Structure 1
Amino acid sequence: MLVLFLCLISVSFTSGQSARYAKFQESYVPAIGDFAANGNVVYLGAKSKILKLHFARREFVAQFEVLSSKCDLGDNSCSDYTQHVLLADGRLFGEELDQVAVTCGTHGGRPRCVIRGLGLLNVIKEIRPLQFAAASHPTLTSLAVVHDNAFYYTSYVTNDTSHPILGMYSQHRQLTTKLDDKWFNNAQFVTLLPIDRHLYVFYKELTFDYPSPILTSRVARVCLNDPGGNKLLLHKHFRTFTKATITCTSPSTMAGVPDYSYNFIDGVAMPHESLTDPSREDRMMYAIFSNIPNGPCSASAVCAYNVVDVHSSFTSDKFVKIDHGTTTQHTVSSVSDSCEEPRSLYDAHKYNFLRDPVRHTHDGPLNTAKCRRYTAIGADRINGIDVIFIATDDMTFVKMAVNGGVAYEVDSFRIRKETNPITKIVVDPNANYVLASGPDYLLRIPISQCKRFNDCNSCVASRDPYCGWCPTYNSCVATVSCPKPVTNYLEEFETANICYNYQRLNNNNTRRIKKVKRKKRRKRRK
């Protein structure tokens, strides 16, 4: 057992509080691949290490280093890299444990997925997903998620060229996508989201526009209970795989000028409450886009998509087939929204690209930024309001609230004066903080900063969904910690009167105190 105390650095917020994060020395952990959180414990996968971190007394403490690299020190060509760290039900993998850690990556240059106990992170068993090959470098982004008794992953099968695939592993069966550029064409995976009965895959891929294909944004979908094919068609492949273009455009204000498009999707997030409550019809997912991935001045945007509308887009029977630049349209009669009755194997084998794109809900983006690229996004829902957390390429952390389809900025602050942008944001639904990681650091950021507001007016004017003026404590506190209903910006038409009463009460108390002090001074003089 190796006990390590990692370097902790504090950076000031604009509000006066501090963001605490551990910065891992490059000589020790050159790159962070993935992490998973369970309360105050974080399981971190890095280039050739797996660490169990505890956050206590303003510091991250690493207790275990359980993966020893087979690479020689200083060998940059070695491909050891832990890219997936997930927490899952042990029964999914035939174990009796309620919860286990799943770590995937390369070890000694070979793909490896391991089930580990949460205590000492000891190896319980090794699993071998079909055609799994972990990316040996962070630029080949690979993703994974555990849901509905199955392990879903994106990977790259490398022979002479790298073929991106989507795979599913469970105790009873394994499925993947075909090694065909009509399914994934040089895809760069962005996000996996299990929503209701489906798994959505957001990614960028090359279009089929010859002779000069360009990168564009896509979303693919498979049923979580996909039956797969038979020995004649789609054997061990997904039967319900379909994909579509996903768009984010700003409407033009000038006649004859086309709408401005943000072509490159960079991240997607959805509040945990929306993921777990399919009965609501106002559930939204939020995506960040950019127009020039590596340009000197990349503009960014945030677009919102109603889950009901996205589901409906994938029930279309209009498909296109592209062969060497020739596009033909087809109507597939066997399309059904029921995962229990998917389309025919023949249609599933031949047609998977929907003609109509998935469009955002509102007329335009919720938010745009010039000469700034959004690099990561997370989402939460509090008091009926969606809150979006966004990181930028200049290490700025932005918190926005979305109320009635209108987004506004709640807070914004600079994390570090460096150029290593945040690449992942996780919002724990049961915690009061946000976790974010970059190439060589981990951040633990307070989700709200209510104590910085000294009076009712400033508390309500902040329009922070997490904060409200509590009559019990006569102070600005987190809405969940007040025993009585709080006054927040949702009551904006009554706020002036309510805050006036608080202010008048405080002023009266102040006058009374001053009057008592004057009487005491007079008595002393006598």
Structure 2
Amino acid sequence: MHQLLPLCVFWLLPLALMLEDKTQLDCIPRRSVPYHGDNAHLFHEEGVFNYTTMLLREDLNLLVLGAREAVYALDLKDISRKVASVKWEVTKEQKDTCKNKGKDPETECLNYIRILHKTEDDRIYVCGTNAFDPECDYMSYADGNLTLEKKGEDGRGKCPFDPYQRYATIMVGNDLFSATSKNFLGSDPVLMRSSPVSIRTEFKNSWLNDPNFVSMALMPDSKNSLDGDDDKIYLFFSETAVEYDYYNKPVVSRVARVCKGDVGGQRILQKKWTTFLKARMDCPVLGSQLPFIIQETYHWCDPSQNRRDCLFYAIFTSQSDTSDWSAVCAYRVSDINRVFAEGKYKSPVHVEMYFVKWVTYYGDVPVPRPGACINNKAREANIYTTLDLPDRTLQFIKNRPIMDEVVLPVGEKPVLVRRGAKFTSIVVNQVQAADGGKYHVMFIGTEKGSVLKAVNYNGVMFIIEEIQVFEPAKPIKILRISTVTGQIYAGTDFGAAQIPLATCSRSSTCIDCVLSRDPYCGWDKTVGKCVFLSNADSELIQSVKEGNAFLCPDADPVKPVSWVTWPGGTLNLSCPSPSNLAKPRWELDNTSVTPSAHLQLLQHRLLILNVSVSDAGWYRCSAVERSTTDEFTTIVAEYQVTVDIAGSGRGGQLLPQAQTDGPSVTGLQAIVALLVVSLVASLACNFYKGHLPLPWNCGKKNRDQTQGAFDQEAMNSRVIDPEAQRPAKAENKPLVSATHGNGNNYSAEVAFPAVRDETDAPSGNESLQFIDYESEL
């Protein structure tokens, strides 16, 4: 028993920590905005798919959008307006060749645009998969036209063969840095610089082991550098780890770094990176047994601060099929550089003939330090390029590219954790609020086609809103942000969309505006609206850190609604909630409503079953929402309910109280009067034409018809029939007076032909009398 106690503590500790931080893990959007055509500007062209490559050309006011076999130039302010386009389709021969290699001709053997980069001469470098034979070209925009130069550069190592394979690229000047597979089978992953000197990674699984590339970023460390440092390229990816002694090697997240000026080694690592180093990245989520896997990053820098304080915001998702957690972690560039500059290395040790164990290296580290860029200190030692590096340094980095230390996020915890639709992409913008503070607003795309807008206030996660951008819901594959236009651009396989950074008008009251805690928005007391912060002329009410709605003036009272119902009926009172975080509170005559089988408190309404006289009264619904400072109550709806005992026979019908004045009643009275006049005119016309009998002639005509029937019957009885001895088959009554059994209190005469033998001939009088009655009806 005592031996089981430590084991129980070991297993229950993560659960206890999760429960302790439950509020952090249960982060839900304050507002959910359903799909609507007004949410975004949309672009889609019939028959074209995969709008997942974007290039912002703010200098041309264009969004260059790459799709399957097409490139579009869209208006940056309204992407639903196409400015220009160009097709780049594969030939029939290329498609047949791809098909013969075992690929699907309808999906894989097409040209998926994967690379769009601006060059120094303002052209656009574009690459496509080109039916599993990647090709690159240059494209120019002039006079409203996109033009491909059709140079046909080889795209192997620059662009993926497979349109569904992850890749990463970045253009630095006219040099393309790419991370993709260099062969048809996808078995040769490579991080490569294409020009002017082609450099790539080593052919070893300790460098790249079945990787999934995510993104690349440039850090211009050479600018204003005191130690003459070089620019650095960062690569984010996930791969199967070789350094762990598990039976099944786990997948881990990585960050790798190379120096821009690396030209390879003289004898060792010729035309290979001599500065390639990689380290594991961790985004710790409570309760997770397996490490979360990186999916996307966004590089953010404050121009007014040191570049070492720049951040990488990274999206992570669980690699377990049974988990639907996603997280965002932020990493400082200085923390990543410290691991590469000061951390220990991992070294392979051959334990058995075919078994390699990776351990921490404690031996001597060569000088210059393996993986370091050329700086002033290296130049003092007559090392001006990587070709001058000693063989000992190059051999060390060739065998030991893995760092021992793990890169941890800021605060050693995520800035956002959420359960639900997995995160797919992210962009970040810094905004200065009314309190003078600068806040990072994250826009996160999900696999269900929505965009989350979130902020981390003093370590507390807060999702302002979730906007459904695409319908039907499709995963957002790419997000881009333009601070020039103040717009977010999203791309999926089925279209592209554009949404503003903020839509403050969604908050109709001051309390709702303040509790939204949106740093873009504030309440303007002068105009009585929630407005964009930069568009306001006066001081706004805003409280992003605390959500202090006590700053708001008293709200206008809610207009009550009167209802009349009857005993035994069902009463359904709605209570629209302004927020997902608000809880409804119902009161009857200033007393809290206690839920029961008779009174059911649903999410947005109160349901009263089998209404009785005691249910009459004044109902009030309030939305109660708590911020970091206090609890705020907003009256949402009020109802005056009357139970009419006299109407108990109406089956509990629920009706609103009749309105006795107002413009709508006056219009209704005019319509009723017009209908009455029309009815009287119609009756008069029918009386005049004889379609309807006059009241004073109805009795006389009926008597005449009845007397005629009796006279005809008497005349028939005096006729000698040869078969008179036979019994009569039926009584001959040409007219029958009947009363309808449908509950209406009126009678009508219905004519039936006399029932006779088949040999009897019809009477002429009977026929005329029947037709005369029909015309009367």
> TM-score normalised to the size of structure 1?
0.80
Instruction: Tell me the amino acid that sits aligned with residue 111 of structure 1.
Output: P
1:351 pairs with 2:400: yes
Three-state SS of the structure 2 residue aligned to 1:318 is: coil
- C-alpha spacing 1:113/1:494, structure 2 compared with 1 (3 Å): same
Paired with 1:63 and 1:471, the residues of 2 have a C-alpha distance of: 45
Instruction: Tell me the amino acid that sits aligned with residue 329 of structure 1.
Output: T
Matches within 5 A, 1:263-412: 263-271=292-300, 273-274=301-302, 276=303, 279=306, 282-292=309-319, 295=321, 297-322=323-348, 324-331=355-362, 332-334=365-367, 335=369, 339-340=374-375, 341=378, 344-383=393-432, 384-412=438-466
Aligned position for 2:663: none
Q: Displacement of 1:422 after TM fit?
A: 0.6
Q: Deviations over 1:481-512 (max 9, x none)?
A: 23455443258598744x44x979xxxxxxxx
1:157 pairs, out of 182, 200, 204, with 182
1:38 pairs, out of 57, 61, 84, with 57
Instruction: Tell me the amino acid that sits aligned with residue 314 of structure 1.
Output: F
Paired with 1:139 and 1:75, the residues of 2 have a C-alpha distance of: 14
Three-state SS of the structure 1 residue aligned to 2:146 is: coil
CA contact (8 A) 1:381 1:387 kept: yes
CA contact (8 A) 1:317 1:333 kept: no
1:233 pairs with 2:268: yes
1:144 pairs with 2:175: no
Matches within 5 A, 1:38-57: 38-39=57-58, 40-54=61-75
Aligned position for 1:201: 235
Paired with 1:479 and 1:337, the residues of 2 have a C-alpha distance of: 45
Aligned position for 1:93: none
Matches within 5 A, 1:184-199: 184-197=208-221, 198-199=232-233
Q: Displacement of 1:371 after TM fit?
A: 4.4
Aligned position for 1:476: 530
Paired with 2:470 and 2:299, the residues of 1 have a C-alpha distance of: 26
- C-alpha spacing 1:456/1:47, structure 2 compared with 1 (3 Å): same
Aligned position for 1:83: 114
Q: Deviations over 1:202-236 (max 9, x none)?
A: 111111146422322111111233x2223412222
2:252 pairs, out of 206, 212, 216, with 216
Paired with 1:338 and 1:163, the residues of 2 have a C-alpha distance of: 26
Instruction: Tell me the amino acid that sits aligned with residue 208 of structure 2.
Output: F
Matches within 5 A, 1:424-463: 424-463=478-517
Aligned position for 1:117: 140
- Stretch deviating more after TM superposition (198-207 or 211-220): 211-220
Three-state SS of the structure 2 residue aligned to 1:174 is: coil
Q: Deviations over 1:347-402 (max 9, x none)?
A: 22222100011111224222222343111211111111111111222223211012
CA contact (8 A) 2:139 2:149 kept: yes
Paired with 1:232 and 1:411, the residues of 2 have a C-alpha distance of: 57
- C-alpha spacing 1:485/1:163, structure 2 compared with 1 (3 Å): farther
CA contact (8 A) 2:89 2:110 kept: no
Paired with 1:436 and 1:287, the residues of 2 have a C-alpha distance of: 17
Q: Displacement of 1:470 after TM fit?
A: 4.5
1:29 pairs with 2:53: no
- C-alpha spacing 1:495/1:419, structure 2 compared with 1 (3 Å): closer
Q: Which structure has the highest helix share of the two?
A: 2
Paired with 1:243 and 1:491, the residues of 2 have a C-alpha distance of: 37
Three-state SS of the structure 2 residue aligned to 1:445 is: strand
Paired with 2:208 and 2:215, the residues of 1 have a C-alpha distance of: 15
Paired with 1:195 and 1:405, the residues of 2 have a C-alpha distance of: 27
> TM-score normalised to the size of structure 2?
0.55
Three-state SS of the structure 1 residue aligned to 2:337 is: helix
Instruction: Tell me the amino acid that sits aligned with residue 213 of structure 2.
Output: F
Paired-residue identity, %: 21
Paired with 1:82 and 1:15, the residues of 2 have a C-alpha distance of: 28
Three-state SS of the structure 2 residue aligned to 1:228 is: coil
Q: In angstroms, what is the RMSD of aligned CA positions?
A: 3.2
Three-state SS of the structure 2 residue aligned to 1:173 is: coil
Paired with 1:33 and 1:47, the residues of 2 have a C-alpha distance of: 9
1:175 pairs with 2:199: yes
- C-alpha spacing 1:77/1:411, structure 2 compared with 1 (3 Å): closer
Paired with 1:437 and 1:447, the residues of 2 have a C-alpha distance of: 16
1:60 pairs with 2:81: yes
Paired with 1:195 and 1:487, the residues of 2 have a C-alpha distance of: 39
Paired with 1:376 and 1:32, the residues of 2 have a C-alpha distance of: 14
CA contact (8 A) 1:34 1:84 kept: yes
Paired with 1:445 and 1:426, the residues of 2 have a C-alpha distance of: 11
- C-alpha spacing 1:460/1:224, structure 2 compared with 1 (3 Å): farther
| Unmatched segments (≥5 aa) in structure 1 | 1-11, 91-98, 253-258, 505-526
Q: Displacement of 1:151 after TM fit?
A: 2.1
Aligned position for 2:573: none
- C-alpha spacing 1:464/1:320, structure 2 compared with 1 (3 Å): same
Paired with 2:255 and 2:482, the residues of 1 have a C-alpha distance of: 25
Q: Displacement of 1:177 after TM fit?
A: 1.5
Tell me which structure has the larger Cα radius of gyration.
Answer: 2
Aligned position for 1:4: none
2:521 pairs, out of 467, 475, 479, with 467
Number of residue pairs aligned between Structure 1 and Structure 2: 470
Three-state SS of the structure 2 residue aligned to 1:315 is: helix
CA contact (8 A) 2:43 2:79 kept: no
Instruction: Tell me the amino acid that sits aligned with residue 452 of structure 1.
Output: R
Q: Which structure has the highest strand share of the two?
A: 1
- Stretch deviating more after TM superposition (463-472 or 334-343): 334-343
